[in-house]
Structure 1
């Protein structure tokens, strides 16, 4: 191997190999590794060490391509891609795949011994492609994620974030390894973050209404609050200030998370060189915008509902959260875009315009705790965030 693992990466890889090799452990398990911890490197090391065939599921074409190339760059050649998106359906000792491409052909993978699932919080324990496939091939499954919880809601009780080893039914039963965000920050493996709570004058979260799932605010109530306080003008003024900060030096890039297209468009009218990326942006256009953003040719990117996972740009040092959310996963994913370290980045700035940091706390305050054996939960400064009703 042409790489050296950090201490926690080696421990996580060892734990995974022991898990797959332990014939007594029949249940599926997860490992929790924070954003920026080098999950793709850990997956590469695990897969290279396992005996027999290993299937690695990736949540999207972009992340699959990124992680497959990383695996190959480490000199591991007995690997392939089975994905219709790549027009490639090759099976090898290590096979990277998307669930949509293999769901109808489990018989091709019944000789596999191991399954690794990246972003395993996406696995629906009640029904769906993953569940059906796992039951068909009947082999041990290890999931990796930075956000080990799923939303559950019912008309009778309301909404709850459930830790994925505590759902009923459940796919994953055990946590075999985890490392805290604060630990990696203390060791210098993640970038220091500075948080700025800059809610506009008059901003009132009590005016926001919860949607029918209980998971987030309704579009209508958010728009009404934006218009009541002219949030659009406020957002423009904040981004203009960030482009010429009084202290802290010129920012490497400013990534603005908006909920609707209207705020993003307002920025493009007022900020020279600002570009928009949304779910409607053609892939080629998006890649061009992001390439120019990383090169410093585009100073600000306003993105609507995208770039929360799989966007790897360590130099990025400024995030503007221009949307309120009740989603802990979305909050963490947004902040995580600035948490990757880089030699030229002293710290990442998290500029919160909607009270999200107040709601959840700093991401380094998020802790995985196990108050009773097997009953894992996420807390922030002692406040329980999972397995409690909203």
Structure 2
């Protein structure tokens, strides 16, 4: 089957072709929302380029989707290089996972074009991707719906509670350290969502094309989302972990027990199974932080199963297939299914865990944003204060305040807020 690209997909593909053909060595970003059809865009780009193309994916599921879309074009000179598939074939267009390529980088020196799907997962400080890119000496194109990355950071405040920054000159820096020592300035572990073009070191330099979630919603390409804030977990009692990038597990677990979150999740799921409309939800996907909540849900709800990182491969495939077929009505999961889970019929997501990561929040909600003819709207049910923290995903917008300086803005807690490159 030959796919017909939508106008924005054609524009994204065209921008990528121009990016690769123009001079310069700056890496570029395509920002396309979840459900925008990134696999189709990648397929079109790879098909149109006139040299060897290496496409990286973070998981087997996403690799399989991207490879299948290219094959649908009738392209035969493509292959898979990934241990997950027991395949190590190199062709003009090769879909790969970085772990499989890392030990054989010399075999990929002839590749002219490098594309990275879900590129927000690249650690600019180090790791397999950075090692490969350091050796590649070629332009890189990244695709993502979430062009930001959570980073640990110290926030310095003066005696009046105002944020202060360390001076760059040696004398000013010494005075700053003296004030820290005398407690005129205090430091606190916080985190910053850094836009990918503003990380240090920097992997990506510019956004070459983007389309807004709101645009795709207005044109009917994404499913409408209904938000239900049913938070039972007060945020004030939660402590941060040592990095400042997430909530402390012990503090979180104690709060869960105090508010009896396990029983609350069960009661919410039972209500969702018997909504006032009388029309049952087609699939309920629950995200929990700890195994205990998912296990309790399975014991209390008929037709509920769970997934975690420890679930065996064959059991995982069976459970996902049974969920998609409707045999399993409720699927609880711990730390999985945030990306690469393509199930357009899914109409209900329950967030039974808090997060400080906008990327995780967006990816979780994105499981319900894919449109389907039988789905009037996706329901987002939040039990842990995430909607108040980040707002609705359709209100997120990418803004270039001045040339090359990008931020993500949203409406959180009824206020228009900058959500990247600021302290959380």
What TM-score comes out, normalization by structure 1 length? 0.97
For 1:223-234, list aligned pairs within 5 A. 223-234=253-264
Please name the residue that 1:334 is paired with. 364
Matched, 1:12 2:12: yes
CA deviations over 1:336-372 (Å, ceiling 9, x no partner): 0000000010000001111110110000011111111
CA deviations over 1:279-323 (Å, ceiling 9, x no partner): 111111111111111111111011111110000000000011111
Please name the residue that 2:81 is paired with. 82
Please name the residue that 1:145 is paired with. 144
| Contact 2:47–2:70, Cα closer than 8 Å, also in 1 | no
Please name the residue that 2:419 is paired with. 385
Shift of 1:123: 1.4
Matched, 1:66 2:65: yes
Match of 2:308 among 250, 254, 278: 278
Please name the residue that 1:252 is paired with. 282
Please name the residue that 2:48 is paired with. 49
Partner SS for 1:143: strand
Matched, 1:186 2:185: no
Shift of 1:156: 6.4
Structure 2: where are the runs of 5+ without partners?
157-189
Shift of 1:80: 0.6
| Contact 1:110–1:138, Cα closer than 8 Å, also in 2 | no
Shift of 1:11: 0.4
CA distance in 2, matches of 1:124, 1:231: 34
Q: CA RMSD in A?
A: 1.3
Shift of 1:147: 0.8
| Contact 2:25–2:138, Cα closer than 8 Å, also in 1 | no
Shift of 1:248: 6.6
| Contact 1:27–1:173, Cα closer than 8 Å, also in 2 | yes
| Contact 2:234–2:385, Cα closer than 8 Å, also in 1 | no
Match of 1:169 among 196, 201, 211: 201
Matched, 1:3 2:3: yes
Matched, 1:315 2:349: no
CA distance in 2, matches of 1:10, 1:248: 42
Structure 1: where are the runs of 5+ without partners?
none
Matched, 1:195 2:227: yes
Matched, 1:216 2:246: yes
| Contact 1:121–1:145, Cα closer than 8 Å, also in 2 | yes
CA distance in 2, matches of 1:119, 1:341: 21
Give aligned pairs, total.
387
What TM-score comes out, normalization by structure 2 length? 0.89
Shift of 1:2: 1.3
Partner SS for 2:114: strand
CA distance in 1, matches of 2:47, 2:267: 50
